């Protein structure tokens, strides 16, 4: 396969095997709701594939990326409140330590996302410092209602 031209990305494979749990993961945007599927819907583990932009698949690292917490995407609207953006996963590469945020996919396990949110409240100070250095704000216990609302809708949040 030749290299993609500027502005193009590698063609996505129809499925991949999760490096975390071994589950076969379907990449079809109709199933996941995202264009560049990069994590397992069951355990939320990813693989370090992208280098500069989402979907470029040019990273040489290829190590597992562990989900470490949740955040929200920053809005381009300067009048938006801090937590108005969509719910995002925070992944940390087990090989090189890079921190990235990734969209939640439509078929991600709500239970896995809630478990990750709960686990992230016990994040070590070193991780919290790295997140601050990268200007990433992990969701806190005060954001539990927001997480539930984003996952289940406002009527089902509690």
Which residue ranges make up each domain of the chain?
15-149
What are the distances in angstroms from CA 80 to CA 73, 75, 76, 104? 11, 6, 8, 20
Q: Kindly report the number of other CB atoms within 10 A of residue 136's CB atom.
A: 18
pTM listed for this prediction: 0.82
pLDDT tens track for 101-144: 999 999 999 999 999 999 999 999 999 999 999 999 999 999 99
Q: Which ranges of the chain have pLDDT less than 70?
A: 1-13, 51, 55-56, 58, 75-83, 155-158
- Are 50 and 57 in contact by the 8 Å Cβ rule? The answer is yes
Q: Cα(37)–Cα(148) distance, rounded to whole angstroms?
A: 23
Per-residue model confidence (pLDDT) at position 58: 66
Give strand pairing partners of 90: 69, 101
Per-residue model confidence (pLDDT) at position 4: 44
Per-residue model confidence (pLDDT) at position 130: 95
């Amino acid at each position: 396969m030749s290299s993609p031209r500027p502005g193009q990305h590698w063609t996505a494979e129809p499925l991949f095997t999760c490096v975390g749990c071994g589950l076969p993961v379907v990449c079809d945007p109709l199933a996941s709701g995202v264009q560049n599927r990069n994590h397992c819907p069951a355990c939320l583990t990813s693989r370090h594939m992208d280098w500069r932009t989402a979907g470029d698949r040019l990273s040489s690292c290829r190590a597992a990326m562990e989900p470490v917490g949740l955040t929200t995407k920053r809005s381009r609207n300067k009048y938006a409140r801090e937590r108005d953006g969509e719910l995002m996963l925070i992944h940390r590469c087990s090989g090189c330590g890079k921190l990235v945020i990734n969209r939640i996919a439509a078929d991600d396990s709500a239970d896995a996302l809630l478990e990750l949110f709960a686990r992230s409240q016990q994040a070590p100070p070193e991780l919290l410092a790295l997140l601050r250095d990268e200007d990433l704000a992990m969701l806190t216990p005060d954001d539990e209602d927001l997480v539930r609302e984003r996952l289940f809708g406002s009527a089902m949040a509690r």
